[in-house]
Amino acid sequence: MKTTLKCERSIVAAGIVCLGLVAGCPLPPPPPPPVDLCAGVDCDEGFACDASTGTCVASQSDGFESANAVRGGALYDKWWVVSGVDAPTEDHPFWATQDTNTRTGADTWRCKECHGWDYKGVDGAYSSGSHRSGIAGIFGTTLSAQEAFDLIKTDHAYGEAGLSDDDIWDLAKFVLEGQIDTDAILDGAAFNGSANAGQPLFDSSCAACHGADGLLPPPGAPADFVDFPGLIADENPWEFQHKVRFGQPDTAMPAQFDILSTGQVADLGSYVQTLPTSAVPEGFSNASASRGGALYDQFWAVAGLDAPADDHPLWASRPDMESNTRIGADTWRCKECHGWDYKGVDGAYSSGSHRSGIAGIFGTTLSAQEAFDLIDSDHAYGGTGLSDDDIWDLAKFVLEGQIDTDTIIDAGGAFTGEASAGQTLYDDGIGTNTACAVCHGGDGLSIPPGADPDHDEWVGKLANENPWEFQHKVRFGQPGSSMPSSVAGGGTTQDVADLSTFAQTLPEAP
């Protein structure tokens, strides 16, 4: 080819005379040296000089063409965990231009921190809130691949931060081909797809790792994982769509970019927005452990219901049918089967007239929902007139209100706190509560307001006779009376130990 060219040029140079007389053609004069447009042009790695223009262009093999938009999307999220380089320690050089977002260090280098999960920066979800930086979005950018590469590598300083040219091409590919208009799949913060169409997508693509309701900690996640799909989809649908399309960097979570269409991402999002946002049911979050503790003692007095007339259904199958001969309402008190120390047959009710042989509930591993269901259905409290709120209160007490009474009561039944600190609490009140002395007298021998005139349950007597019952009454009050709960008043377990140690020094009778 080159030879032919030379010859043609020679022919032109030699003039028309030579045509047809090739054999006798005189030697042509030396050709002028070709103009080398690439002379002195130094291209970066992955680029080659284009001889026709003299500019550097991506060499087809490692540049934009072969870049990976999916990996670019993950880099956009958190590039250092994807590329395996060290996280930056200083702020991104552009960070100094804003002062509304108070994050520092590595966070300021995440593309999403400046440009948003919706790629719209200050014109999108980050227009307000703690992530607002005022920086513009990148959606609809008109940069060329080369311009995007140069901007990310040089202007944005990601080359210096340690990203390779391949990483930066992946980012450029994401910028030009991986973004979607999130407004097309969202109405406000609600996905506008079909939840019915999304359910099979979730079941086939997500449930194996996240559980059918999205509440399973995915493989490799800590047991206390709370960023459930239902929560992220609800609280941050823009982040959700990005994580679905590009995966969660450095985890097993796969990218759906090449698998789901944008419409399917909307369907999936619509379905996931119907899933629970937390493993803790709302009823449980709003429930009161202190009220639950009083219900545990005598539920009908707290809930204002009629006392049950028949025996509790589980009473007929108690392991020890001989020792405890109570019938009717008493058999429905949680404490009658599980004890004031919550340890049932393994605690204070291991012997005596309250022994039923039933196990305790201390250290139960039931979930909130399981505890609710057990109390409501298996234990039949739903049929007694207790409301769902009452049963959530009981579940809350079961999971959060119990203490190990062995930590405040020794084997001989003596409280192990400080009597002097306890006296102060007795005289001045625990937390925000009225002091014991106001209602029971300084020596515990006054009849409390509203009690029968022939009342003979004195503070010192009960503290010594049944310290397990005593700690429960102090912590949750006396059902159906004005006696306050130290738990509700903000008292600690140590306060209860100290107070009760003092109460054991009070006279047991007038």
Q: Site residues for ligand HEC, window 481-510 (CB under 6 A)?
A: 481-484, 486, 499, 503
For position 109 contacting ligand HEC by CB under 6 A, the verdict is yes
Question: In a 3-state reduction of DSSP, which class is residue 172?
Answer: helix
Among 125, 152, 302, 348, binds ligand HEC (CB under 6 A): 152
Residue 33 tokens read as 């040296």
Q: Which residues contact 35 (CB under 8 A, 6 or more apart)?
A: none
**Per-residue contact flags (x/-) with ligand HEC for residues 174 to 193, judged by CB under 6 A:** -x------------------
Size of the site for ligand HEC (CB under 6 A): 93
Among 74, 138, 186, 215, binds ligand HEC (CB under 6 A): 138
Is residue 352 left, alpha or beta, with left meaning phi > 0 and alpha meaning psi from -120 to 50?
Answer: left
H or E stretch covering 264: helix 262-272
Residue number with CB closer to ligand HEC (49 or 178) = 178
**Per-residue contact flags (x/-) with ligand HEC for residues 317 to 356, judged by CB under 6 A:** --------------xx-x-xxx------------------
Q: Which residues contact 272 (CB under 8 A, 6 or more apart)?
A: 191, 198, 202, 206, 214, 229, 230, 233, 240
Across-strand partners of 58?
47
For position 436 contacting ligand HEC by CB under 6 A, the verdict is yes
Half-sphere exposure of 324 (CA within 13 A, CB side): 27
For position 379 contacting ligand HEC by CB under 6 A, the verdict is yes
From residue 491, how far is each of 7, 51, 54, 496, 500 by CA, in Å? 103, 82, 80, 7, 13
Neighbours of 264 (CB within 10 A): 19
Among 18, 195, 305, 438, binds ligand HEC (CB under 6 A): 438
Burial class for 508, CB neighbours closer than 10 Å (0-12, 13-18, 19+): middle
Residue number with CB closer to ligand HEC (70 or 483) = 483
Choices 5-13, 29-37, 41-49, 443-451; region in contact with ligand HEC by CB under 6 A: 443-451
For position 272 contacting ligand HEC by CB under 6 A, the verdict is yes
Residue number with CB closer to ligand HEC (49 or 92) = 92
Q: Which of 118, 366, 58, 382 is nearest to 242 (CA)?
A: 118
Residue number with CB closer to ligand HEC (49 or 137) = 137
Q: Which residues within the stretch 53-72 sit at the binding site for ligand HEC (CB under 6 A)?
A: none
For position 120 contacting ligand HEC by CB under 6 A, the verdict is no
Q: Which of 123, 134, 158, 148 is nearest to 238 (CA)?
A: 123
Minimum distance of ligand HEC from residue 431's CB (angstroms):
10
Choices 9-17, 37-45, 302-310, 473-481; region in contact with ligand HEC by CB under 6 A: 473-481
Residues in the chain, total:
510
Among 49, 209, 294, 329, binds ligand HEC (CB under 6 A): 209
For position 440 contacting ligand HEC by CB under 6 A, the verdict is yes
Residue number with CB closer to ligand HEC (125 or 272) = 272
Residue number with CB closer to ligand HEC (253 or 487) = 253
Choices 13-21, 30-38, 81-89, 218-226; region in contact with ligand HEC by CB under 6 A: 218-226
Minimum distance of ligand HEC from residue 155's CB (angstroms):
5
From residue 347, how far is each of 242, 292, 339, 403 by CA, in Å? 54, 21, 7, 13
For position 108 contacting ligand HEC by CB under 6 A, the verdict is yes
Q: Which of 216, 204, 219 is nearest to 264 (CA)?
A: 204
Residue number with CB closer to ligand HEC (49 or 256) = 256
Minimum distance of ligand HEC from residue 454's CB (angstroms):
11
Q: Which residues contact 388 (CB under 8 A, 6 or more apart)?
A: 283, 376
For position 302 contacting ligand HEC by CB under 6 A, the verdict is no
Across-strand partners of 48?
57
Residue number with CB closer to ligand HEC (378 or 410) = 378
Do β-strands 186-187 and 190-191 pair in parallel, antiparallel, or remain unpaired?
antiparallel
For position 85 contacting ligand HEC by CB under 6 A, the verdict is no
Burial class for 351, CB neighbours closer than 10 Å (0-12, 13-18, 19+): exposed
